[in-house]
């Protein structure tokens, strides 16, 4: 059974023509199924959990990137569930990553059910697909697999934990999200000077990377924020691990993963 989860903003009048096209296409493809729309009276987790318990094998997020991230976080707690995505807004990072840039064509992609199985990071109880960013990097230490510690002593340097990569960054660099490892990355600030004019990306090529499975982010004194996928903010101390082959995402031909 297919379960289509519509985010709240999808009900806006301006999206009615597009929704009509999407729903007609789903019927043509024979993959129309149960549909639920998020409202102030309906909890997203309860709706998706209930659909899976009642036999839904494919959960399709209809909305924007935030809708998809929340869907992944819920679906990852279940086994043998496919997650698809139909983007409603024009600017969607994950639409390009998954190869579903056109919302009507995304219906066809969903019908083919071609999936990529990728790792997820988990910080405390929250999953993330892209990265965990530490804005105040100079005040933390990262312990890797209980063997060594990593820190960025220069306050201008960036410190992050990467799975797929910081997908919302303007200079997104893709990491291997299928190797069962996380990448702890220390990178200098991007240069806009001579090296940029020469076509060189200082942030990516000068980064120091440590591969690990289990991470502890520690800070002395006050807690430091750690941001997961630009969506969830947690505080140190924080433990992050990787869960290998955790989520199945439906992808199109023009995907970048």
What's the pLDDT at 197? 37
Mean pLDDT of 225-237: 96
Whether cis (ω within 30° of 0) applies to the bond prior to 237 is: yes
Pick from 151-160, 183-192, 217-226: least confident: 183-192
CATH 3.40.50.10330 corresponds to the domain 2-113: yes
What's the pLDDT at 195? 40
Q: What is the mean pLDDT of the chain?
A: 92
Alpha helices, H only, the chain? 16-29, 44-53, 65-75, 93-98, 103-112, 194-197, 202-205
- Integer Cα distance of 182 and 131 in angstroms: 9
Per-domain residue ranges for the chain? Answer: 2-113, 122-244
What's the pLDDT at 199? 44
Q: What is the pLDDT of residues 23-41, one digit of tens each?
A: 999 999 999 999 999 887 7
Considering only CA atoms, which of 222, 198, 231 is closest in space to residue 121?
A: 231
Q: How confident is the model at residue 192 (pLDDT cuts 50, 70, 90)?
A: very low
Q: What is the pLDDT of residues 57-105, one digit of tens each?
A: 999 999 999 999 999 999 999 998 999 999 999 889 999 999 999 999 9
Q: Which residue has the higher pLDDT, 242 or 202?
A: 242
Q: How confident is the model at residue 189 (pLDDT cuts 50, 70, 90)?
A: confident
β-strand pairing of 225-228 with 232-235: antiparallel
Q: What is the largest CA-CA distance in the chain?
A: 59
- Looking at domain 122-244, its CATH architecture is Sandwich (2.60)
- Which one-letter DSSP state was computed for residue 190? P
Indicate the SS3 state at residue 172. Answer: coil
What's the pLDDT at 173? 92
Mean pLDDT of 233-246: 97
Mean pLDDT of 43-51: 94
Considering only CA atoms, which of 125, 135, 129 is closest in space to residue 223?
A: 135
Q: Tokens 């100079």 correspond to what residue?
A: 138
Mean pLDDT of 188-217: 67
């Amino acid at each position: 059974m297919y379960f289509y989860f519509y985010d709240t903003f999808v009900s806006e009048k301006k999206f009615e023509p597009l929704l009509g096209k999407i729903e007609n296409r789903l019927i043509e493809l024979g993959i129309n199924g149960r549909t639920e729309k998020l409202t102030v009276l309906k909890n997203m987790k309860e709706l998706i959990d209930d659909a899976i318990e009642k036999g839904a094998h494919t959960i399709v997020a209809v909305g924007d990137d935030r809708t998809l991230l929340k869907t992944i976080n819920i679906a990852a707690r279940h086994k043998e569930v496919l997650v698809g995505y139909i983007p409603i807004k024009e600017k969607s990072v994950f639409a390009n990553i998954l190869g579903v840039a056109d919302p009507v064509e995304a219906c066809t992609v969903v019908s083919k059910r071609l999936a990529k199985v990728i790792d997820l990071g988990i910080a405390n109880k929250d999953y993330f697909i892209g990265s965990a960013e530490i804005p105040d990097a100079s005040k933390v230490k990262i312990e890797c697999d209980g063997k060594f510690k990593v820190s960025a002593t220069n306050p201008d340097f960036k410190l992050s934990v990467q799975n797929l990569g910081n997908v919302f960054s303007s200079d997104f660099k893709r990491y291997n999200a299928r190797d069962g490892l996380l990448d702890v990355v220390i990178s200098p600030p991007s240069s806009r000077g001579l090296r940029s004019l020469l076509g060189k990306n200082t942030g990516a090529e000068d980064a120091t990377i440590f591969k690990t499975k289990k991470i502890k982010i520690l800070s002395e004194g006050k807690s430091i924020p750690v941001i997961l996928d630009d969506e969830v903010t947690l505080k140190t101390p924080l433990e992050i691990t990787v869960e290998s082959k955790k989520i199945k995402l439906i992808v199109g031909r023009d995907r970048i993963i």
